[in-house]
Amino acid sequence: MLQSKSFFPILLALSFLFDGAFGLESCLLPFWSCGIKRTQVIGYAKLPGEKAMPIILNNKLRVEKSTVTKQVGPGFYMLNQPVWEEDDDGSWYCLIKANMDKVKKADKVWIPTHYKKTNADGSTVDQALWDQEDLDNLYDFISYEAFIPEANKALLFSWVHEEGYWHEQMTIPTDVVNNDSLGIWATCFPSIHDLKKTSNKAVNWQKWDITTAGV
């Protein structure tokens, strides 16, 4: 365990003093003029300590630029429920909330493992979409199959094998995270038990308006 976990109760208490924890819009007095955000849990993530600590301190997500190939491209990956049963040494367990008005307005699309891509001459080819170093085909799928013009801003949904089962996974693209386009508030816990004491409910992404194409 990282030594910093011993300071967690203090950090968590401080983080919950700020507006994001309670879904209150920051504003000037009088207090009755304050708006209320529709802030709700949108997912859960397991992170190494070096990535969790900035979240605990700032209650914000940030994705660093990387050339590492990921399942559906760069971004912040999360599950719709905290599926982990046992703590991993050095791992933190994170709760992610967002402004649901902003989430509702965002484009969303399910990304299949592959799809039948139609070429200019009318022929088709089986095109893989997961774990691709070149993202052109992924963005083509989002733009021309799902009809989402800003492909690099869409919330991406897929499946991931975790804890022996397949689970729903959401990826928020890097720029959407770093620009705080969804009004995200987040924090992390030193154990899965601590996370589940705060929130253990699965997020029903199936109720969201998610585009399906190519399947």
Model confidence band, residue 67 (pLDDT cutoffs 50, 70, 90): confident
If you classify domain 3-207 with CATH, what class do you get? alpha beta
What is the four-CA torsion angle of 108, 112, 114, 119, rounded to 10 degrees?
-30
Query: Across residues 30-49, what is the average pLDDT?
Result: 75
Taking each helix axis from N to C end, the angle separating 8-15 and 49-58, rounded to the nearest 10 degrees, works out to: 40
Asked if the bond preceding 30 is cis, omega within 30° of 0, the reply is: yes
Give the C-alpha separation, 206 to 157, whole Å: 10
The pLDDT score that the predictor gives to residue 5 is 55
The average confidence (pLDDT) of the chain is 86
Sequence letter at residue 75? G
Higher pLDDT, residue 19 or 164: 164
The pLDDT score that the predictor gives to residue 89 is 82
Q: Is the pLDDT of residue 196 over 70?
A: yes
The pLDDT score that the predictor gives to residue 215 is 62
Give the C-alpha separation, 142 to 129, whole Å: 10
The pLDDT score that the predictor gives to residue 105 is 97
The pLDDT score that the predictor gives to residue 15 is 52
Q: Who's near 170: CB < 8 A, 6+ residues apart?
A: 42, 43, 77, 78, 79, 80, 155, 156, 157, 205
The pLDDT score that the predictor gives to residue 37 is 60
Higher pLDDT, residue 10 or 180: 180
Structure tokens, 1? 């365990």
The pLDDT score that the predictor gives to residue 12 is 53
Model confidence band, residue 163 (pLDDT cutoffs 50, 70, 90): confident
Structure tokens, 108? 């969303």
**Which residues are registered as beta bridge partners of 129?**
none
pLDDT tens track for 106-149: 999 999 999 999 888 989 999 999 999 999 999 999 999 999 99
Structure tokens, 161? 């094998």
Task: Answer for the pair 40, 98: CB distance below 8 angstroms, yes or no.
Answer: yes
**Which residues are registered as beta bridge partners of 109?**
156, 211
